[in-house]
């Protein structure tokens, strides 16, 4: 499954909104919800879609300056 297909299936568990792929060094580093300012981390290629595991998006961006949104 590629990232695009993944994003069509996954939604933010908090607001059920759409997610944006955050790429770092050509691999999926996290899924971002702009509405909640939440970042759902990807661990071992598996997105962790849990509200309690969500990170603050702004903080995550500061910690991952090389990460880019995939368009």
Which residues make up the interface to Zn ion (CB under 5 A)? 12, 14-15, 17, 33, 35-36
Q: Which of 13, 8, 15, 23 is nearest to 66 (CA)?
A: 23
Q: Which of 15, 32, 16 is nearest to 24 (CA)?
A: 32
Min. distance of Cβ 64 from Zn ion in angstroms?
A: 19
- Of all residues in the shown chain, the one whose CB is closest to Zn ion is 12
Closer residue to Zn ion (CB): 7 or 44: 7
Phi, psi at 43, each rounded to 5°: -120, 125
Min. distance of Cβ 12 from Zn ion in angstroms?
A: 3
């Amino acid at each position: 499954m590629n990232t695009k297909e993944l994003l069509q299936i996954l939604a933010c568990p908090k607001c059920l909104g759409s997610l944006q792929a955050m790429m770092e060094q050509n691999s999926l580093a996290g899924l971002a919800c702009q509405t909640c300012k939440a970042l759902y981390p990807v661990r071992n290629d598996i997105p962790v879609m849990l509200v309690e595991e969500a990170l603050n998006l702004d903080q995550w961006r500061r910690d991952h300056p090389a990460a880019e949104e995939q368009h």
